[in-house]
Chains A and B, each alone.
Chain A
Amino acid sequence: MTETTTTPDAAERARLVRSTRRFDLRRLLGGLFLLYGIICTILGIVHGSSDLKQTGGIAINLWAGIGMIVLALLFFLWDRLAPVPEEDILGNLDREADEKAAGEGKQLG
């Protein structure tokens, strides 16, 4: 395995780990559903009676809103309990030379 010429230093690595985790997909999903959940819950409270008329008696915005808030919290919890392993983030960095070789088609005949 060839060593890359630009092996990033420790500070650079720590920064990469932080930035990768900050934008973890689960946080984005959590954020999106938290917002949607809050919007639907508020509408469910404000429009209570007109909603019921359209749905035939189910407070759908309220239920969907609460459901989405719970989903959002589960995403945040999952992200907290199982953050992306450091070696997954950094492993990718160390493989740059291999990746370039693969991209140039050198592993293939």
Chain B
Amino acid sequence: MTTTALAGAADISIRLDLSWVDYLMLIVYFGVVISIGFIARSRVRTSMDFFLSGRSMPAWITGLAFVSANLGATEILGMAANGAQIGVATLHYYLVGAVPAMVFLGLVMMPFYYGSKVRSIPEFMLRRFGKAPHAVNSFAFAISNVLIAGINLYAMAIVIEAMLGWPEWVAIVVSAAFVLVYITLGGLSSAIYNEVMQFFVIIAGLVPLTIVGLHRVGGWGGLKDAFAKTDSVKHLSAWAGTGIGNVTNPIGANWLAIVLGLGFVLGFGYWTTNFTEVQRAFSAKNMSAARRTPLVAAFPKLFIPFIVVVPGLIGAAVLGNQLAGTSDATHLSYNDVIPKLIQMYLPEGVLGVAVTGLLASFMAGMAANVSSFNTVFTYDIWQRYIKPKMSDQHYLRVGRYVTIIGVLIGIATAFIAAGAGNIMTYMQTLFSFFNAPLFAVFILGLLWKRMSPAAALWSYLAGIAAPTIVWIAYLNDPSLFATGTAETLYGAIISFVTVLVVGVIVTMFTKPKDVSELKGLVYGVGKIDMSMDAVVGDTAWYRSPVLLGTVALILCVVLYLPFV
């Protein structure tokens, strides 16, 4: 066995010792994944079935898929790393950065999206503002998404190599092959069903880890004591040191920048305009289910930090001085916290569940990118600009081929990333600049019927350019911002303001769209049928979107109370 050989370096290895039972669990899971692909395939008759599940899904499935599409393993490992590094301030990413935006999507924006029957986010751009901004948005989304799929694939390969000892290229090819098979077979339905399954499995893996971890450090009290002795970061207070002019918190931003940058601009930008997420709601069976999708998702999102950030805290308490920003000969990287705790605390059996959950969430993350990429490519690029007016079967076939091509580009990207890691980090940061300006354009366009198509195009482009310039300035002079995260927050705010200013100015000098073309696309213009395709039971009190949204927002405040 390698265990003895590694004993000297065992402290910083995250290699897991899987038994045949654990592998059996893994194999069973991926057997079910492929079966779901075949089951979903039997229901794909039209391109709408393939790309949007025929708009037939109930809210509980789309809601869990909505939260799960974001619960990729990079997210889980990253948020646990944040927990270890900056402590419960990581809650901001959930309670400020996600849930309010999800509530806003369900209550305010979804009626416009679902009511206008658009098939993608770029298509909403097309309906509201016309071809030029649509083309920019479609290409930006398609290109960035397929490359992000590749970057995720590479991130996954590194962790799989460290945990299971598979060579990187094997991890890349095997994972991509699974995604390829089940998305090509069943399209979005495959992706969504697997996301729901992954959601439950990752929870079944992380709950035991949290329980054993907490037990090992002597419960919450023990965790507190551990930090009381050594803590320089204030791991257990979320808002300490965020006063304006008195910023001493590890994020390096004051409370206003956190709320506006992370919460309003980045959070709203990501959750309301990122088609990878919103696509899940578009597949819902009626207006009520579409609106409830992000609201159903908000509730698990509220509680996920307790099984992700808490293990991060446990890691900080137990592993303390073994942790560093990047791993080296004597240190673990913060990203390794969850795998390390799994190795330390989980015996054969629950170990298999946890590893299956992590691998599943890696794959689900990539599948979500691929299934939104193929939709935008087929409907917004191929059908709109290359081969319009073909039969539905043609677009279904194109969708399947594009899926294959998308996965292949993803694999190529992953291999390039393996050779040039830094370029990929830069690209990932760059792509994160695409959401904030899109949200700003949409919100202006939704509220202001005069906003012209030219204004949308130029403000969108300016909103991408502005944070890019700020970011390049920061790369050249790191003293501009306290941390990289702070740069992202301020960059997002700058992008948002740029869009508003450019949008208003250009609108003043250009021709608006005729009001008759804006029905159901702008606030107060035309009416949206809120009971579209309603079924009996949609009116039950516990299915009221306003009630669900309000409760979620109240919980956002309540969950902060223990950590002020």
Taking Cβ atoms with an 8 Å cutoff, the residues of A that contact B are 19-20, 23, 25, 28-29, 32-33, 35-36, 39-40, 43-44, 47, 50-51, 54-58, 60-61, 63-65, 67-68, 71, 84-85, 87-88, 91-92, 95-96, 99-100, 102-105, 107-109
Q: A103-B47, A105-B379 are in contact. Are A32 and B127 (CB under 8 A)?
A: no
CA distance A34 to B142 in the complex (A): 40
CA distance A64 to B43 in the complex (A): 35
A99-B208 in contact (CB<8A): no
Interface of B is mostly: helix
Q: A36-B204, A51-B347, A108-B127 are in contact. Are A58 and B215 (CB under 8 A)?
A: yes
CA distance A61 to B515 in the complex (A): 63
A25-B345 in contact (CB<8A): no
Say yes or no for B32: interface residue by CB 8 A criterion. Answer: yes
CA distance A35 to B197 in the complex (A): 14
Q: A55-B212, A85-B535, A105-B379 are in contact. Are A99 and B348 (CB under 8 A)?
A: no
A54-B347 in contact (CB<8A): yes
B42-A40 in contact (CB<8A): no
Chain A residues within 8 Å of B408, by CB = none
Interface of A is mostly: helix
Interface mask (B191-218 → A, CB under 8 Å = 1, otherwise 0): 0010011001100100110011001100
B348-A47 in contact (CB<8A): yes
Partner of A55, one of B39, B49, B207, B347: B347
Chain B residues within 8 Å of A103, by CB = 46-48, 51, 392, 395-396
Chain A residues within 8 Å of B432, by CB = none
Chain A residues within 8 Å of B127, by CB = 108-109
Chain B residues within 8 Å of A29, by CB = 196-197, 200
A32-B29 in contact (CB<8A): yes
A60-B350 in contact (CB<8A): yes
CA distance A10 to B56 in the complex (A): 21
A107-B117 in contact (CB<8A): yes
Question: Which 10 A/B pairs are nearest by Cβ-Cβ distance?
Answer: A103-B47, A43-B349, A103-B392, A100-B392, A99-B48, A61-B349, A99-B46, A40-B349, A51-B347, A55-B212
Interface residues in B510-551 (C-beta closer than 8 Å to A): 517, 535
A96-B383 in contact (CB<8A): no
Q: A23-B39, A39-B21, A104-B392 are in contact. Are A33 and B200 (CB under 8 A)?
A: yes
Q: Please give the distance in Å from A28's CB to the nearest CB on chain B.
A: 6
B215-A32 in contact (CB<8A): no
Q: Please give the distance in Å from B525's CB to the nearest CB on chain A.
A: 16
Contact-residue size bin, chain B (C-beta under 8 Å from the other chain) = 35 or more
Chain A residues within 8 Å of B386, by CB = none
Q: List 28 A-B contacts (CB under 8 A).
A: A19-B42, A20-B43, A23-B39, A25-B196, A35-B28, A40-B353, A44-B349, A51-B347, A51-B349, A54-B345, A54-B347, A55-B216, A55-B345, A58-B212, A58-B215, A60-B211, A60-B347, A61-B347, A64-B349, A64-B350, A92-B43, A100-B48, A103-B48, A103-B51, A103-B396, A104-B389, A104-B391, A109-B127
A50-B28 in contact (CB<8A): no
Interface residues in B109-159 (C-beta closer than 8 Å to A): 117-119, 123, 126-127
B392-A95 in contact (CB<8A): no
Chain B residues within 8 Å of A104, by CB = 47, 383, 389-392, 395
Q: A64-B204, A103-B392 are in contact. Are A28 and B32 (CB under 8 A)?
A: yes
Interface residues in B67-103 (C-beta closer than 8 Å to A): none
B21-A43 in contact (CB<8A): yes
Q: Please give the distance in Å from A19's CB to the nearest CB on chain B.
A: 7
Chain B residues within 8 Å of A35, by CB = 28
Interface mask (B32-50 → A, CB under 8 Å = 1, otherwise 0): 1001100100110111110
